Amino acid sequence: MSSVVHFEIPADDVERASKFYNMLFNWKPEKVPGPYEYWMLHTKKTESDFGINGGISRRKSESEHIIDYIEVDSIENYLRKVESLGGKVVEKKTAIHKMGWFAICLDTEKNTFGLWETDENAK
């Protein structure tokens, strides 16, 4: 079975996007040396932790976009946090019966991402 092992987020302002994700999820941005503006996003506390890391690069065209779902403990708390950091909620908390909740947001760079909260009681 294949798994997602990396994600990339296009950004008009790479530093602003790195700060947004650091403040929202506590992901650690690290600028990669080289000719291209690229920041690694370390999403795991240790390399042995389950999960994936990703990156942010300068947007090359308007058609570039991402959407990955990020698991959170409370969608409501994170929706408030998204808006307080300059992001936007485009689809409010919605139930997936007996599985959980999701919401769709835009970050400060107008990239789409999803929030996921596992909840077997969701209706």
pTM: 0.78
User: Which of 77, 62, 52 lies closest to 111 in space, CA to CA?
Assistant: 62
Rounded distance between C-alpha atoms, residue 45 and residue 63, angstroms: 32
Tell me the pLDDT tens digit for each residue of 35-59: 888 899 999 888 888 888 999 999 9
Quick one: DSSP state of residue 51? S
Rounded distance between C-alpha atoms, residue 59 and residue 40, angstroms: 15
**Domains (range + CATH), the chain:** 6-118 (3.10.180.10)
Tell me the pLDDT tens digit for each residue of 17-30: 999 999 999 999 99
